[in-house]
A and B are shown apart, each in its own frame.
Chain A
Amino acid sequence: MALAIEASGLVRTFGPLRALDGLDLEVREGELIGLVGPNGAGKTTFIRVLAGLLGLDAGIARVLGEPPGRAVSPSIGYMTQSPALYEDLPVRDNLVFFGRLFGLSTAEARSRAGELAELVSLEGKERSPVRTLSGGMRQRTNLACAMVHHPRLLLLDEPTVGVDPVLRMRLWDHFRAMNHEGITILITTHVMDEAERCTRVAFLSDGRTIASGPPAELRERAGAPTLEDAFLALRDSGAEP
């Protein structure tokens, strides 16, 4: 299977802070990979590098075989941590706008907006301005906007932060359904329960990958009952990926 993401020795600093400190990771197409680590581990910085929003100080990154940037952006769906939407516009207009931005015709974008509203259970809310929606509905609209152009790779930055357990379940249902359709998904989280749902997990700490593999394999490798314990054990042992 071809590689969706190749990251080798990524370094990115912000003043004295080394947000990425030699991060290595390979993700095959069709994977649902979870990036797990505490705050400041470099998860968001890594995702922003892949989305073409941040440059690198060192290292090589490739996304779907190309360097991150505009050339590959039509194939990427990027979902920001908090909903990045036009609050005064209705759900449908947000979806149509982002669809057109990614090259869909108005008719295609409208039709896709209808499909997505159904997919993320927002039927009947298409004409409601985003500012009138609940937090959960906004987050679902946010996800729909990231998927509007049929991306091959979805970069989801902590998509379930601040979301209630019922909605979290539903969002994960969407992620799994999309993954079954062949979309590669990279998702950042620090909720271990969510990481268990991924086909593979990469533990990040201090801007480096300390381990990666299927959740069960990581638990076994660390001899730990939970992924949380596995993370702590592997981090403290200074494991190499």
Chain B
Amino acid sequence: MSGRRILAIAGRILRQFRHDPRSVALIFVVPVMVMALVGYLVGDSGKEPLPVAIADQDSGTAGPVAIGATLAGALERQAGVEMQDARDAEEAERRVHDGEAAGAIVIPAGLTQSLLEGQPAQITVIVGGIEPGLDDRVIGAVRLGMVEVIAAAAESGAALPQVSVERVPLAGGAELSTLDYYAPALVVVFGFLFTFMLTSVAFLRERSTGTLERLMASPASRLDLLLGYLLGFIGFAMIQALVILGYAVWILGVHIAGPPWLVLLTLVILVIGVVNLGIALSFYARNELQVVQFIPLIFVPQIFLGGLFWPVQTLWTPLRLLSQVFPVTHAVVTLREVMVGGAAVAEVAERLLALVAFAVAMLLLGLLALRSQRA
């Protein structure tokens, strides 16, 4: 063992870092970015309230034990929800269906009267049933409100109300498992991550081995090159998606309520964008290590802000707008709506258009990046 040699090696490593300021910056920037995002998402502050519709048909009973009014008041005071009045149960359900509300509470007529008579009663909470994180927040808010109702009843000396909360999902249901809700996100994550890694590394190799120069000196146009790459990677990504979906459906028993071709179409559009993103970004990397450094920078914000674990609706407005730029957000929502909600193409057309816009933007970025090859 030689101290001099050990110091020489350590010194060389530090000198190498000094000559690679981007890697050094990423080493500090990425963990801080991830910690800031996790801190924000796990914490309570800075969240936008969830719109929740309430159809309170329990009118005519006054006093502190008026269950509907007390529950509505308790929910109004919660920072996490923003209450909307709905005329009746149908309107409340429509608002959830149309995405105007994250959930809806239906307080039936005569609820308070039933409770005063010692009869058990039920409150219905309508949720989308597609995004468990979102549904749980609505149910959680209702349960918290019910605690206030019970406390108010206890304070007034009335008998404790026996109210149950019935969760009515518009899509999905009891036959679906947790895996059914997360399978769409997993398919998107694998599709994005592996396509991005493979394309960026493959294109980086084209550059570093000189084959790109050879391609550029051939009659192939830049568009030929990009479309060839697209076709190759779409084929590969489709096989990957079929393997993942096949395993999920036949081995794990995951349901696909909507048309399976729509799942594949969504993935094709996503992959087109990601292939071009990988090509464009590979021009900013000198080696495979630098490509790997892009992954946390490009991928982590999409995982955290794309609605995989935390609902997009509750994000601080600038972050929510940012999440709408991310292809992962649109792909996850689309696949959830198709696989869990059984949506048809018309119902997810807007999301698909957003993915198409991303794909077109990335195709242009890829062409621009290739243009810089001939200087």
Contacts and interface: CB of A to CB of B under 8 A. Distances in A.
19 contacts: A52-B374, A53-B217, A53-B374, A54-B375, A55-B374, A70-B221, A73-B219, A80-B213, A83-B210, A84-B209, A84-B213, A84-B214, A85-B211, A86-B211, A87-B209, A98-B218, A101-B215, A101-B220, A102-B218
A53 B373 CA distance: 8
B216 interface: yes
Interface string B203-232: 000000111011111111100000000000
A20 B221 CA distance: 26
Contacts of A87: 209
A143 interface: no
Contacts of A83: 210
A182 interface: no
A103 B217 contact: no
B218 A84 contact: no
A83 B374 CA distance: 20
A25 to B, nearest CB: 19
A82 B213 CA distance: 12
Interface residues of B, number: 15
A32 to B, nearest CB: 20
Interface string A103-145: 1000000000000000000000000000000000000000001
Contacts of B373: 53
A101 B215 CA distance: 8
Nearest to A87: B209
B213 A54 contact: no
B210 A80 contact: yes
A54 B216 CA distance: 10
Interface string B257-293: 0000000000000000000000000000000000000
Nearest to A70: B219
Given A54-B374, A87-B209, A78 B217 contact: yes
Nearest to A68: B217
Nearest to B222: A70
A53 B213 contact: yes
A70 B211 CA distance: 17
A85 B209 contact: yes
Interface in A61-92: 70, 73-74, 76, 78, 80, 82-87
B224 to A, nearest CB: 9
A51 interface: yes
Interface in B174-223: 209-211, 213-221
A82 B374 contact: no
B217 A52 contact: yes
Interface string B293-327: 00000000000000000000000000000000000
Contacts of B214: 78, 80, 84, 98, 145
Contacts of A78: 214, 217
Range of interface residues on A (Cβ < 8 Å): 20 to 34
Given A55-B375, A78-B214, 15 more contacts: A52-B216, A73-B218, A73-B219, A76-B217, A80-B210, A84-B210, A84-B211, A84-B213, A85-B209, A98-B218, A101-B219, A101-B220, A102-B218, A102-B219, A103-B219
CB-CB nearest 5 A-B residue pairs:
A84-B210, A51-B217, A78-B217, A84-B214, A80-B210
Nearest to B220: A101
A76 to B, nearest CB: 7
Contacts of A80: 210, 213-214
Nearest to A73: B219
Interface string A149-181: 000000000000000000000000000000000
B216 A53 contact: yes
B271 to A, nearest CB: 22
Contacts of A52: 216-217, 374
Contacts of B217: 51-53, 73, 76, 78
B220 to A, nearest CB: 6
Q: Which of B210, B211, B220, B374 has the most CB of A within 10 A?
A: B211
From B213, B217, B220, B375, residue with most partner A Cβ within 10 Å: B217
Interface string B66-98: 000000000000000000000000000000000
Contacts of B209: 84-87
A191 to B, nearest CB: 21
B284 to A, nearest CB: 20
Contacts of A51: 217
A98 B211 CA distance: 10
A84 B216 CA distance: 12
Nearest to B228: A101
A149 B52 CA distance: 68
A82 B219 contact: no
Nearest to A155: B217
Nearest to B374: A53
Interface string A34-74: 00000000000000000111110000000000000010011
